[in-house]
Amino acid sequence: MGKEGRSAADLILTQLLYGGAPFFAWPWKPALNAVAGERYERAYEHFRRDHQNPVNLGLHCMCLVFQLAFNYALLAEVGEVVARAAGTEARNLLSAITSLVWIWTMLRCSSAPVSVRLASTASIVSAYVLQDALLAQWRRVTFATAVLEMLSFQVYVINRGQRVPFKRHQLLQLLGLIAVRLWIQVAMVKHLGGVVTSSEAKTLVNVCLAVWMLNAVRNPFGQKMWASPFLMVYLGPVLAVLTDQPWIYFYSGGFMASITQGVSHHYSKEMATLLQLSKISDEIAHTVFFPNLLFHSVYQSRSSGPGPAKFDVKA
């Protein structure tokens, strides 16, 4: 995929991008794109090439909702820790700053229709307003995301990414996987929830996770699943339940959103964009501009049908 053998600077950028979950927003991400990323027009040309199928676009819109919900739940959790350490009550400061710089970045994409930029702004504002919605219900939500886990497990682990006709056998296999995964989740929540109780043990888990992730994100797409950061899709919910740390679950949601997009590409038979990009600058732009890119492609498909990227549309 052309992502091996990157320079030391590119390696640092790769770790910054994928270490924070590739499509998650943080206050520094727009600045990172301004310094080391690509312009919106180039990012949209890449995105539009691979996102024209209506089913793929629809599923990506669902992934955006999922991504934003988990992104802002994580920002709320981290913001609370930061506020407590600073001795303030401004727990929403991190998410507020993230929202402002992200919205500013979306609005400045002048080659995107105004309606597209407003849609991105509305989605970010909605996520900010509802950032606490998942916090009280996160254990229940793990049962819903278990279905997404097994969808990706079937595609990437069992079928190794090969396009297998989704007929009766595949459906029965998927239903079996979901049943087993839900049974495991019930057992974990009922018997093992919060089994890791001491602060020292939780700290050890968190340090080991951080060290492992630093190594895993060096080459996020070029490693076996057990050494890939996308293992967090399956590891995160388990660690979150065992240690009673919802932030790990929300963090894993960033990788789950990405891999679910991959499943969408798999079944819509359109290539996944990130896998084709050879420059870290393109990967940064692709993830930072994602809301605009998605809504722009939806807008273009509705207004003028399939075709390469256009920038002369009017809102």
Is the alpha carbon torsion for 55, 61, 62, 63 positive or negative? Answer: positive
Q: Going by C-beta distance under 8 Å and a sequence separation of 6 or more, which residues neighbour residue 69?
A: 127, 130, 133, 134, 253
Q: How far is CA 138 from CA 78, 163, 187, 238, 242, in A?
A: 16, 33, 16, 12, 13
Q: What angle do CA 5, 232, 239 make, to 5 degrees?
A: 140
Q: Tens of pLDDT along 255-312?
A: 999 999 999 999 999 999 999 998 999 999 999 999 999 999 999 999 999 999 998 6
pLDDT of residue 163: 80
From first CA to last CA, the distance across the chain in angstroms is: 37
pLDDT of residue 315: 45
pLDDT of residue 113: 96
Write a three-state SS string for the chain. Answer: CCCCCCCHHHHHHHHHHHHCCCCCCCCCHHHHHHHHCCCHHHHHHHHHHHCCCHHHHHHHHHHHHHHHHHHHHHHHHHHHHHHHHHCCCCCCHHHHHHHHHHHHHHHCCCCCCHHHHHHHHHHHHHHHHCCCCCHHHHHHHHHHHHHHHHHHHHHHHHCCCCCCCCCHHHHHHHHHHHHHHHHHHHHHHHHHCCCCCCHHHHHHHHHHHHHHHHHHCCCCCCCCHHHCHHHHHHHHHHHHHHHCCHHHHHHHHHHHHHHHHHHHHHHHCCCCHHHHCCCHHHHHHHHHCHHHHHHHHHHHHHHHCCCCCCCCCCC
CA distance 138 to 144: 10
CA distance 122 to 130: 12
Question: Which ranges of the chain have pLDDT less than 70?
Answer: 1-5, 312-315
For the chain, what are the domain ranges? Answer: 8-304
pTM: 0.93
Q: How far is CA 100 from CA 93, 105, 128, 257, 284, in A?
A: 11, 9, 10, 22, 18
